[in-house]
Amino acid sequence: MRVVLKLGTSVLTAGTDRLHRPRLVDLIRGLAAVREAGHEAVLVSSGAVLAGWETLGFPPRDRTVAEKQVLAAVGQSRLMHTYAQLADLYGMNVAQVLLTADDFRNRTRYLNARTTLEGCLSRGVLPIINENDAVAVEQIKVGDNDTLSAFVANLVEADLLVILTDAPGLYTADPRLDPHATLIPEVARVTPEIWALAGGAGSHRGTGGMHTKIQAAEIATRAGTPVVIAPGDAPDALSRVVAGEALGTRFHASGSRLEARKRWILAEITTGRVHLDDGAAQAVRERGGSLLPAGIHRVDGTFGRGQTISLLAPDGSEVGRGLSRYASVDLARIAGHHSREIEGLLGFTYGPEAVHRDDLIRL
Ligand SMILES: Nc1ncnc2c1ncn2[C@@H]1O[C@H](COP(=O)(O)OP(=O)(O)O)[C@@H](O)[C@H]1O
Ligand SMILES: N[C@@H](CCC(=O)OP(=O)(O)O)C(=O)O
């Protein structure tokens, strides 16, 4: 399984004012155990602002945006330093990937982020993601790491998103305020009734409370990824959730991953068209196979890397649509050539396919 784990500030501090090292050791050990069991893991971690506060001593409350950005800039490197040291104990290498909303909106950046994350996973490196708080202002922010973790789950097409927090799961009301609140173990679909359960902004250090977690659950489950909100202080929480144990609240996937991908590909109307030879048109139409540059004999229109293009058979009929791995100028230069010539022709390569089969839909 490919698992995205989101750790909120509330989990990293374990109820204190600082990064709680023993808690971090437990969490990293949990990640190592899940990887040992053969799963892939991506970590989305908050805690930069908190770590900045720990270092510089000025609390984030009532600070200006610029001051919070300083806290995040200082704290992010501290946070990564701590993670790198702990991961080292378990023989893991870590990578830092800082993202903002633009990285999900802009296709080129989206694809580049995806390529980097896939590259990390294929090399056994643990990617640790946070919002790029130091440069992102409100308008271009995702804004909270629950939502960010759902975007990341979609980006890497995760099989499971686990959000660990300081509550035992989703309750019928905020358990801090209502002693009679009870745990909801399963959510088949995020309905208005579920939305109504989210209280206010959560703990004094966290962002968003249950509201953003429900939002994350809705985004991820619609795209085919189940989500579990579980208590960060439960022993071996991650391994237990990954093993399917009923811990916290499980949100079932409501959509399919394929449908989500199709929507993404079809959502963009472009003028980019490539004309295929008979063999390539047949490969796409009949097998949904990748399109190699060798099968393209003409490129029409201007498009960037990662944009949707139409694939046309020699008779002009549209056989498919997909995301181009190359910009139109580059694709025109490698059209008709064998993939091993790409690097010689362009001086770089984004891989042997013009459109990878994972990014292609047949029409
Ligand atoms: N229905 C609910 N069920 C559980 N927790 C809730 C609910 N409504 C609000 N909360 C609050 O959300 C908090 C978790 O959010 P937050 O403090 O932002 O955590 P994190 O730092 O992990 O993102 C809980 O401590 C709890 O007080
Ligand atoms: N990006 C910020 C955290 C934002 C956030 O969503 O926090 P939390 O609700 O604790 O997961 C940071 O690293 O401080």
Cα distance between residue 153 and residue 224, in whole Å: 10
DSSP letters spanning 277-305? -HHHHHIIIII-PPBPGGGEEEEES---T
* Residue 141, annotated as binding a ligand: no
The protein residue whose alpha carbon is closest to atom 16 in ligand 1 is 209
* pLDDT tens digits, 183-224: 999 999 999 899 888 865 544 445 568 999 999 999 999 999
| pLDDT at residue 282 in the model | 95
Ligand 1 cavity residues, CB under 6 Å: 8-11, 165-167, 170-171, 173-176, 197-199, 202-203, 206-210
* pLDDT tens digits, 272-327: 999 999 999 999 999 989 999 999 999 999 998 888 999 999 999 999 999 999 99
Q: pLDDT-derived band of residue 108, with 50, 70 and 90 as boundaries?
A: confident
Beta strands in the chain (DSSP E): 2-7, 40-45, 94-99, 126-131, 160-165, 186-187, 227-231, 249-251, 273-276, 296-300, 308-312, 318-323, 360-362
* pLDDT tens digits, 313-357: 999 999 999 999 999 999 999 999 999 999 999 999 999 999 999
| pLDDT at residue 207 in the model | 58
Mean pLDDT of the chain: 92
Decide: pTM greater than 0.90: no
Identify the CA nearest to 26 among candidates 234, 195, 216. Answer: 234
Domains in the chain, please, with CATH? 2-255 (3.40.1160.10), 261-362 (2.30.130.10)
Distances (CA, A) of 356 to 137, 284, 302: 34, 11, 19
Q: What spacing in Å lies between the alpha carbon of 156 and ligand 2's midpoint?
A: 21
Q: pLDDT-derived band of residue 33, with 50, 70 and 90 as boundaries?
A: very high
* Residue 147, annotated as binding a ligand: no
Helix axes 145-155, 107-122, angle to 10 degrees: 80
| 131, 135, 148, 166: residue to mutate for ligand 2 pocket, most atoms within 8 A of CB | 131
Identify the CA nearest to 141 among candidates 102, 106, 96. Answer: 102
Q: What spacing in Å lies between the alpha carbon of 294 and ligand 2's midpoint?
A: 47
CA dihedral 153, 156, 159, 162 (to 10 degrees): -30
* Residue 210, annotated as binding a ligand: yes
